[in-house]
């Protein structure tokens, strides 16, 4: 049985830089390739409703007549299914996690 195994590990880390970052003061580095917030580009959208039909959680509702694209941020699981389906490339998942949702209402774009 060996003694002081943990002390060896602890000593190794005593002089090292902390692994954690001081979060609110140091912004989080987004990892490339991460699936973050869904961003909608209004200019290219043709309101075809394909994204709303493909969304597995029903987060998107698109109204073709009123030319309105809406999302319920609390339902979106950032799966990227709508991004793959959109024929006009109007949708994109950014790598940052965005700001918290402050309302339970749908977001109109």
Q: Which residues contact 99 (CB under 8 A, 6 or more apart)?
A: none
Q: Which does 50 bind (CB under 5 to 8 A by kind): another protein, ligand SF4, none?
A: ligand SF4
Residues 62 and 68: beta-carbon distance below 8 Å: yes
Cα 91 from Cα 69, distance rounded (Å): 11
In the shown chain, the binding pattern of residues 9 to 48 toward ligand SF4, with x for contact by CB under 6 A and - for none, equals -----------------------------x------xxxx
In the shown chain, the binding pattern of residues 43 to 72 toward ligand SF4, with x for contact by CB under 6 A and - for none, equals --xxxxxxx---x-x-xx-x--------x-
Residue 73 is a binding residue for ligand SF4 (CB under 6 A):
no
Cα 86 from Cα 82, distance rounded (Å): 6
Residue 90 is a binding residue for ligand SF4 (CB under 6 A):
yes
> 3-class SS at 85?
helix
The residue among 76, 57, 67, 69 whose CA lies nearest residue 108 is 69
Q: Which residues bind ligand SF4 (CB under 6 A)?
A: 38, 45-51, 55, 57, 59-60, 62, 71, 76-82, 86, 88, 90-91
């Amino acid at each position: 049985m060996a003694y002081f195994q943990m002390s060896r590990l602890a000593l190794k880390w005593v002089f090292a830089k902390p692994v954690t970052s001081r979060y609110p003061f140091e912004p989080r580095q987004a990892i490339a390739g991460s699936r973050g917030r869904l961003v909608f580009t209004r200019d290219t959208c043709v309101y075809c409703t394909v994204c709303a039909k493909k969304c597995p959680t029903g987060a998107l509702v698109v109204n073709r007549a009123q030319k309105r694209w809406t999302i319920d941020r609390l339902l979106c699981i950032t799966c990227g299914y709508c991004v793959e389906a959109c024929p006009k490339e109007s949708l994109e998942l950014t790598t940052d996690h965005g700001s918290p949702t402050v309302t339970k209402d749908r977001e109109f774009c």
